[in-house]
Amino acid sequence: MSDADILDSRYSWTRLLITLAIAVIGNVGMWAIIVIMPAVQAEFGGTRADASLPYTLTMIGFAIGNMAIGRAVDRFGVTVSLIAATLLLVAGFGLAAVSGSILVLSLVQFLIGFGSSVCFGPLIADVSHWFFKRRGIAVAIAASGNYLSGAIWPLVLAGILEDQGWRTAYVIIGVVSLVTMIPLALLLKRRVPAAAEATAEAAAALKRRSVPFSSRTLVWLLGIAGIGCCVAMSMPQVHIVAYCVDLGYGPAVGAEMLSLMLLGGVVSRLISGMLSDRLGGVLTLLIGSVLQMTALFLFLPFDGLVSLYLVSMLFGLSQGGIVPAYAVIVREYLPAKEAGSKVGFVIMTTIFGMAIGGWMSGWIYDVTGSYVLAFINGIGWNGINVAIMVFLLMRSRRGRLAAA
């Protein structure tokens, strides 16, 4: 096999499976805090907004890390970046386990979020270099590691949380991360050969989509859209456990709904990846965003146990493919040399949306005493994302006609 034939090869798929395993393990940082939120509130006291603060700081760290570590991957490679982030992640879990207040826990969760970020945007950007014909589905599979992590870890942590408490759960997570992620990272030392990169970039340039404004404007529009979609996405994902506790169903049921939601998200990401290869990233993202808005409406009239399970599953099936589609859009409109930083920036904005939305929903709950307005708030933010995707779809078509 020549260097130019390495893309979409057996090695590419093997590398993708290793990436997926790392993502399942390393993304636990952003889900563990959701599961322990009721226990943290019970131990330290405070309002629902106070208890949401550690999650918000986690996501801010996750957002900044996607940008910063994305640049590091462009410069130093994914293996060095993964090892450094893993050590930071392990240290964060250890410090969190001995924290004595919500404020200290929140600051430590920022470090955990920063370390965990290497397992999302930077890994997605790295995988995108190893595929050309099947880039959409490859990116979707890599991104699914985040949701698989959210589907698996809450169930594991729920048992540990009930028997031994959240501090022991964090120590266990740190140990597992240390002994698994570094050996797996060493398997990703190989870089894309220059001949393969050049061949793929030449082919991509012939197919690259265009818009009648600068790449900076495009990236900022994607960033605003990312904030809008993820403020909406955060409401069910961040507060479903607390919501179930309020309704009297208990945290274990909430963890099951979160897992069901995220398993649905995995299915959605895989389907959206295949659609991206056929329809393009913008149209795929628009479809997912409209479906997410529809699912959010369904949370308003239904709060029974069975109906919540069903709506949680539908929400997962609707929204899972949204965030990976942003990475596909960046690769469709911009050159490969900008992948790490630009994908990192756009992913950063989506995570900021999750952070803002997670805190905002808790604040709305404290003010109103229910989550009704929080769901409505999410629907409104979702509309911003839909509007931007419609705009890009229309302007993109005009750009191709003008180019022709």
pLDDT of residue 214 exceeding 60: yes
**CB atoms < 10 A from the CB of 306, how many?**
8
Q: Comparing 226 with 340, which gets the higher pLDDT?
A: 226
pLDDT over 70, % of the chain: 90
Instruction: Please state the rounded mean pLDDT for residues 196-206.
Output: 62
In sequence order, which residues have a C-beta less than 8 Å from that of residue 91 and are 6 or more positions away?
111
pLDDT of residue 52 exceeding 90: no
pTM (2 d.p.):
0.75
Q: Are 308 and 244 in contact (CB under 8 A)?
A: yes
Mean pLDDT, the chain, integer: 83
The one-letter amino acid code at 185 reads: A
Q: Residue 237 — very low, low, confident or very high, per pLDDT cuts 50/70/90? A: confident
CA dist., res. 284 & res. 294, Å (int): 16
Measured on CA atoms in the order 65, 222, 273, 378, is the torsion positive or negative? positive
pLDDT of residue 1 exceeding 60: no
The tens digit of pLDDT for each residue in 94-153 reads 999 898 888 898 899 999 999 998 888 788 888 888 887 787 788 888 888 888 887 788
Which range among 18-32, 61-75, 256-270 has the greatest average pLDDT? Answer: 18-32
pLDDT over 90, % of the chain: 24
pLDDT of amino acid 216: 82
pLDDT of residue 404 exceeding 50: no
| Pair of tokens at residue 395 | 């302007």
Question: What are the angstrom distances between the C-alpha of 299 and each of 257, 267, 269, 367?
Answer: 13, 21, 22, 20
The tens digit of pLDDT for each residue in 388-400 reads 999 988 887 544 4
CA dist., res. 239 & res. 176, Å (int): 26
Q: Which domains does the chain have, with CATH numbers?
A: 3-403 (1.20.1250.20)
